[in-house]
Amino acid sequence: MNNHFILASGNSHKAEEFNELFDTSILQVESAPEKVDVVEDGSTFSENALKKCLGYYKKFKQPVLADDSGLVVGALPDELGIYSARFGGEGLSDKDRAELLLKKMDGIKNREAYFLCVLCFYFGEDEYYFFEGRVHGSIGTEYRGEHGFGYDPVFIPDGLEGKATLAELPDWKKDNSHRAKASKHAQTFFRERDCQKA
């Protein structure tokens, strides 16, 4: 059974990314016909993911997948998280934000951090599901790597030999990112759910 969703995003590449992560015989995602402006004023990743789903479902009347993700930094508890994409204010590039983070972390010993992704699969007001993925690591001391985006060039994942950033580990990231982990949880759930329905 194929569960088909539109993606609550104006980024067509994001739908392609999800279809690479999913077994498309179980879960399939397509770009929304147009972008819907949603006010993301929730206090958690889950609230914001649900708000995106509601906005797109209201417009297109079909199942929606929304993703809300960010970087949580232990030493700066109120500055990133759900505000990761707005860290430092308007007009900054991804690189500007990552370099601002390095500057703010200068001299701080506690460099623990994690990436968090929450996926919301929305079928209607009585049926929606959340799945979460995390990657734990630390904030490095320099900007390194050509393959990532956002904060990848300053984030060093735990559990690997060496001190490579996510932006230097494209193959590892493909299978182990916070988005990949959340996607695996979702796929397992829907596979089992569909087997029970069959």
Active site residues: 68
b/e burial code for range 111-126 (CB count within 10 A of at least 16 → b): bebbbbbbbbbbeeee
Adjacency order of strands within the sheet including 27-31? 27-31, 3-7, 64-73, 112-124, 127-139, 155-157
Nearest to 70 by CA among 159, 163, 128, 132: 132
For residue 187, give Cα distances in angstroms to 15, 24, 39, 117. 15, 10, 28, 15
